[in-house]
Amino acid sequence: MTKKFLAEHQIAYEEHNINREPEYIDYLKEKGFRSVPVIERNSNPIINGFRPDLLKNLIAR
């Protein structure tokens, strides 16, 4: 749902799939996350999970 939201609003993103890149599991655990997706901006986590209420803040105005 998060990827669909980003695509629908033409928000560019870089995906790191934990199934193909398991090293990101440790990265996320170190930051305190236990679920995906995690949205980061400038290497700072800002959203965890599908949160359309927060994702709308990424839409360019």
List pLDDT tens digits, range 7-44: 999 999 999 999 999 999 999 999 999 999 999 988 78
17: CB partners within 8 A, 6+ apart: 24
Q: What angle do CA 21, 27, 7 make, to 5 degrees?
A: 60
0.95 surpassed by pTM: no
Question: Number of H helices and number of E strands within the chain?
Answer: 3, 2
Question: How many structural domains are present in the chain?
Answer: 1
Domain holding 20, by residue range, is 2-58
